[in-house]
Amino acid sequence: MELLMEFDDIKKIWDTQNNEPLYAINESALHRRIEKELVSSRRANNVSDITLTIISVGVAGFISVYDTPLNVYDYAMIAALLFAVVYIWMNRLLRKKPEEHADKSVRRDLDHAIANVEYEIRRSRTMVWWYIIPLAIPALLNMTEGSPAPWQWVMVSGGFVLSWFVIQWGLTRHLIPQKKNLETIRIKLDEEV
């Protein structure tokens, strides 16, 4: 909402001769604000990529070092984690490629910021299928091999459920409102043009 209010402040000026409001866009101020949104959305993408990679590699390393001897479920979890890392970085490369030839304009930067937020929304919505379930199934099956205490079942399954809730919270509280805000700016910008 902050960007939308700033956009409204940027475009309203007062005609002192006729005593009525006029509307104009201070393009440089608007472009600076949209560039901040673009940098913020890029940073969010980078943090997500790096964090998921560190977690995945760290957990895969932990399993391979501390859960010996490895069984088929351990190998399945390690494979799922390494697949997730490859998936994250392949998508990163595909996402970054168009940035190399991007022209600098208010509309281009705004569209790019929206695309970055849309990417995070898609990733969050599909994460249960390419990350949580491929890890949860072998982890829970692995627990059936031993005799874990009830609290261990609660902790492991609760961790997967909690991760899903955290993803949903991020979607509803941050990503979707951010996308709506940026799209409203695009609509207002199109109206002005």
Counting Cβ atoms within 10 Å, is residue 117 exposed (0-12), middle (13-18) or buried (19+)?
buried
Q: Which pLDDT does position 12 carry in this prediction? A: 53
At 69, give phi and psi (nearest 5°): -75, 150
Residue 20 or residue 112, greater confidence: 112
Q: Which residues, 6 or more positions from 89, have their beta carbon under 8 angstroms from its beta carbon?
A: 49, 53
Provide mean pLDDT across the span 128-152.
93
Q: Which pLDDT does position 3 carry in this prediction? A: 59
Among 64-68, 100-104, 140-144, 162-166, the minimum mean pLDDT is found in: 100-104
Q: Which pLDDT does position 33 carry in this prediction? A: 87
Say if residue 47's pLDDT is above 70: yes
Q: How confident is the model at residue 189 (pLDDT cuts 50, 70, 90)?
A: confident
Q: Token digits for 64?
A: 């391979």
Total residue count of the chain as it appears in this document: 193
Evaluate whether 110 touches 182 at the Cβ level (below 8 Å).
yes
Say if residue 10's pLDDT is above 60: no
From CA 125, how far away is CA 118, in angstroms rounded?
A: 10
Q: What is the pLDDT of residues 69-126, one digit of tens each?
A: 999 999 999 999 999 999 999 999 998 887 766 677 888 999 999 999 999 999 999 9
H-run or E-run covering 24: none
Among 9-13, 100-104, 156-160, the minimum mean pLDDT is found in: 9-13
Give the bridge partners for 12, in sequence order.
23
Residue 11 or residue 165, greater confidence: 165
Q: Which residues, 6 or more positions from 179, have their beta carbon under 8 angstroms from its beta carbon?
A: 114, 117, 118, 121
pTM: 0.81
- How big is the CA angle at 53 (ends 180 and 98), to the nearest 5 degrees? 50
Average pLDDT across the chain, whole number: 87
Q: How confident is the model at residue 146 (pLDDT cuts 50, 70, 90)?
A: confident
